Every structure is written in structure tokens, then in C-alpha cells.
Structure 1
Amino acid sequence: MTRDAAIWKDRSRRPLTITEQARRAQLVRVTTDLVARHGYAGTSLARIAEAAGLSKAAVLYHFPSKDAVVQAAYATVIEALIADVGAAVEQAGGAAAVEAYVRSLVAHLRTHPEHARMIIEAVTEETGISDGPDAPSRRQSVADLIEAARSAGDYREDTDADLLAIVVNGAIDAIVAEQLARPGFDGGRAADELIGILDRAYRRRPGPDAG
């Protein structure tokens, strides 16, 4: 084990001080902004240090490498996204939960385009992050919402939750990409249109004898 690795292993075993937590949070914010504006390739440790008003050595005190700080920034962005979308979904049920997922995810990434760019750069470059748009966990979480809507009687019995989750996530990715490429694009309207398509194609309609 190298000396630097030994130092990092020892440091990771103790709680961070308040000052260290604040500095790491600053570096995460700076890195998110830089990656969003310049891409992963255009973001270096020296650039992160300059933007934070620190020396490169000071950055390396908190993170052992560029990829480490990018991974921390990615984790923070994902945590904020999950909290926002999760809060919206928890307040709904059945098909309304699927609709809340679509609207809140699109809205969060429209409000925070830097988060969208950070996510894209982190999962498409060699950052050491194995997550991605096709991650089974992402598909499964949406499939679970769809299955709950089917079980609640909102969606048709023949709805394939896994297949529809792939379609929904793919449509959301396209909406978010368009938002980033075309600032005037109305992502909220596109989200509503996607929800309308789901409603027309998968909603269970009352039969003629329904009371």
C-alpha cells in the first residue's frame, strides 16, 4: 500500500469535522458546475481547485483523485433527485404515482439543468461510475410503480410493467435531452403528453355494467 493510500484509508475511518464537511460540500458544488459547463474531460483537479479558491493539494486532501470528487458530486446530485421525485411519488398512489414520477423527474431536471448534465457526463465517461440510464434498479423502480397501478385497478390487467417501464424511462430521457438542447422546449407539456399517452393506452376503462 502506498503512503497516500494509507493516509486515505486512515482518514476514511474517522468522522469528518464540520469544516471538512463544509469544504467537501463546496468542492462537490464546484465540480457539479464545472462538469455541467465544461464536461468531464474539460474538468481537471487544477480547474476545480481554482474555482474553489484552493490549491490542488487542498483538493487532494479531501478527495484522492478527480474521479473521486466527480463520483461524490454525482452521488449528491442523485440524492437530491431521488429526494425530490420520491416525495412527489409518496404523496400519490396507483396511476397517479406513475404520473407524479414522470412530472417530478422532468421538472427537477428542468429546474436543475446542471444536474442533468452532471448525470449524463458521469455515466457516459470513464468516471468509475457503473450506474446508467439502463440500470436494472431504475427500470425496476418504475416497473414497481406500474405494477402497483395495475394491482390498484388503474391500469389494464395485461399491462407488462417491465416493458412499459423501459418505454417510460426512454421517453423521459428524450424529453430531458431535448430540454438541454433546446432551452425553449416545454418539458412540462411533453411530460403531460406522455402521461396522456399512458392514460389512453393503459388506463382500465369501466365496463358497460359498471355502477
Structure 2
Amino acid sequence: MRSENEPFGQKPRSFIEEARRAQIVGSAVAVIAEAGFAKASLARIAEHAGVSKGVISYHFAGKDELMEEVVRHSYEGAAEHVAARMEGLSTATELVRTHILAVAEHMRGHRDQIKALGEIFNNLRTADGSPRFGINGNEELYRMLEHLYRLGQAAGEFRPFDTRVMAVTHQAAVDTMFAYWVANPDHDLAAHARELADLIERACRA
């Protein structure tokens, strides 16, 4: 995802530019989480960030591109955390459990991100009016989870089942876990994640 102000072939962004973009993204998350997608104007985000609206326009082609960057930034942060927790694990059972537990661990400290993502997923549209981030936007996640489930089946850890069905079910359960936690802040997210990991492990076990 590149801005029209950042054509291919342009030199990499400086540390200061990356820091400014991260600041703007952080303010976008905070404003969306507090006020909702419709009221998260560039002017309001700029005010929160302590910059002019022109600074945002310099770094992002418009609100849509900024929203896409919020999604990318949020997913990359979660993926890096989960990958670090998975490093060194050898069994598919450990990997599947760790995916659930680690993503919950990461998001427990990023509740505003989950609220902002929900707002963006429900409201951001393409030119023809369809959702910018529909269910097929999870395709990369589905493939990664399918790979883990196939590893388990090949190793004899998991019983035979349709890995796509299991991957879709796995991700839907994780997404619903977060949606429920956002709506019920006192809900024990860590305990929910452990129960979910147990449930999926038992469902897959050979």
C-alpha cells in the first residue's frame, strides 16, 4: 500500500518520516476507538496527533489509505509477537495453541486497536460500495493455519479433517473472542484464550 505521494522507485523513508507515520497511525487508532469511524476525520486525527491536516496529507493520500495503514500496522504488530512466541516450537499442537494464546496476549495490551479495526472493517468501502476488508481478506491467515493443521496431520498428532474448515473456524473463534472482549471489558481474555486453545486441541487430536 503506497501513497500517490510515494511513487515506486522513491528512496526509502527516513527514520523521522517513519516515526511521523507511526504517530499519525497511533492517533488514528485512538480517535477511531473513541469516536467511531464516521467521526474520525483527518482534521480530528491531526488535532490528536498535534500536527496539521497537511502533515497527514503529506504522508497519506487520504483517509482510506490511512485506514489501510492502521490495519496493516495492527496485523504486522500481532504477527511479529506471535512469530516470536512460536520460535523454537516443534509440534503442531504447540504451534496452534501458541497462535491463540500469543495473539490474545498481544491484543490484551492493544484494546483500542481491536475497536478501531472493528470500526474500519464495518465501514471502509471500495469504490463500488463493497467492504474493503471482507472475509476473504483473511486468506493469508487461513493459509498459515492450514499449514499448521497439515503439519499436525502429517505427524500423526491430528486426526483427518478438512484443514480449510478448521482454519476458518479457528480464525472466526479468535475474532469473536476479541469482539466479545471489546463489548465486555471485564471478560477474562487470557482465560478465554486458554479455553479456546483447549477446545481446538481436543477437536483436532488424533
Whether the TM-score (by the shorter chain) exceeds 0.5 is: yes
Which of the five TM-score ranges fits, normalised by the shorter chain? 0.7 to 0.9
Aligned to 1:163: 165
| Distance in 2, Cα, partners of 1:19 & 1:111 | 25
Match of 2:180 in 1: 178
Q: Distance in 2 between matches of 1:63 and 1:108?
A: 27
TM, length-normalised to structure 1: 0.83
**Structure of greater relative contact order (alpha carbons < 8 Å, 6+ residues apart):** 2
After TM superposition, the runs of 4+ consecutive aligned structure 1 residues lying more than 3 A away are: 9-12, 127-134
Secondary structure class of the residue paired with 2:12: coil
TM-score by length of 2: 0.85
Counterparts of 1:1-211 in structure 2, within 5 Å, are 8=5, 13-92=10-89, 93-126=91-124, 130-134=132-136, 135-156=138-159, 158-204=160-206
What amino acid is the match of 2:143?
Q
Query: Percent identity among equivalent residues?
Result: 28
Give CA-to-partner distance per residue, 1:9-62, whole Å, 9 cap, x none.
569723323332222221111112112222221100110111111221222122
Give aligned pairs, total.
197
Change over 3 Å in CA distance of 1:91–1:115 after alignment to 2: farther
- Cα shift readout 1:52-108 (whole Å, capped 9, x = no counterpart): 112212221222211222222221111101101122223323111000011111222
Structure 2's unaligned 5+ residue stretches are none
- 1:22 and 1:200, CA in 2 relative to 1: closer, same or farther beyond 3 A? closer
- Separation (CA, whole Å) in 1 of partners of 2:125 and 2:9: 20
